[in-house]
Chains A and B, each alone.
Chain A
Amino acid sequence: MMLEAKKIEFHYNPKQKFDLPDIQLSQGEQLLILGKSGSGKTTILNMLGGLLKPLNGEIKIGDTSLYSLKGASLDKFRGKNIGIIFQRPHILEPLTVLENLSIANFFSGTKGDKNENLLKELGIFEKRNEKVNTLSEGEAQRLSIARALANSPKVILADEPTASLDDENATNVVKLLKEQAEKYNAVLIIVTHDQRVKDHISNQITIGG
């Protein structure tokens, strides 16, 4: 198993516990988690991404139990093994396109020799030395995907990656994510309420009723 979530529990308010499913995915598998807003989709993604410790249960990536790691070692592990894509691109504005990738390499301590290739594949290579505020919405989202892939992660997590995009860009982004995940043989989990994504990934679960 590449990614495993067992009996995880979480709640912000004891009266409203999230009903969270167990997840088991092996290398290269893809999963779509569907649910309305407030159903705990993002929460589950944060927990899988090592950003939020579940109150109970265990999450394993490869052989590592994620929350047995503490502090900086958890940060390093996340940087190296998990690529996270958010609803909005959240690119570091003062840096150029290429620097946004190298910063990911820097923080996780990897080399990043395929950054330029990544940019080429995602069609933003020509803009590599430009400031990110010159990018369009679609380009920015592609850059955030490139950044998530910069360290060749084993797990790619995407939180509503298509929410702010038009139909065409949304389809492109999902396709890109699938392609790249397959290329790196990584686990891909997309969390969304966007019905447009449904047709692309057959392995689906719905949470929150």
Chain B
Amino acid sequence: MVSPAANVVIEARNLSKVYRDFWGRQKVRALRALDLTVEKGEIFGLLGPNGSGKSTTIKILLGLLFPTGGEALIFGQEATQVSKNDRIGYLPEESYLYRFLNAFETLDFYGRLFNMPAGERRDRSKQLIETVGLSAAARRPLKEYSKGMTRRIGLAQALINDPDLILLDEPTSGLDPIGTKDMKNMIVGLKEQGKTVVLCSHLLADVQDVCDRIAILHQGELKELGRVDALLRKRDLTQIQSTQLSPEVEKEVCDLIRARGGQVLSTENPTSTLEDLFLSIVQESEAKPGKRAMPDETNRE
């Protein structure tokens, strides 16, 4: 039996951070008494508006900032311990990479930092470049990359050491819908491999799609923490979806609900998301190049 503590990957205890100026005067209280636990194998989302303390939390967890109070533990080690980084992958908000290196050189460099032998670095770099779809541009310097390509090589460097914990700061920022979908698929794939993912994002839909649990921060305080499905479920509302429903049957159903004391708030045909529409058009275009995409007419009014 695995003890609960062994399952805990990240633990923040009463974590707080105050930014001070050179003379030690308090400028900003970025984080207040944050208590947080992330368990092995889950996708955890940190949400909050700008200045809510998300990035500060991530930076403290990575040892880039030191907490003013409390404690941050990763794999049971202090966040300032260098050795914890052996099992961590980090994709920063902007892909802060050396723009004069190409994709292979970038991954080779970061592989060296994990003390990987040359052969292993070569194989792993090749595999990751294929995974993130940059094989055609692998020898071009990063300064020639688009933002989406840079995000993808950024993700590849975060995975170079096959980490157990991946911290992603705005992972879908700058990606087109296809790239976003690929990124989300990749995040889910990482979870399926048993890895723990912590991400913070402004794009709430992305978080909703992939996260198991989320924490919502505001003004440095934890406002909400729990499973996504539990937090979003509206227990006093029921949604019925059906096909082949004639207006008469629809009226009968509504009457029955009212007769039983319920209240019908609305009946309507649900719309697809623009993302779904975009993806279906691109998929059809790829399947039949040169033809104008014709989405399903039956679903159109």
On whether the two chains bind one another, the answer is no
Binding site for A on B (CB under 8 A): none
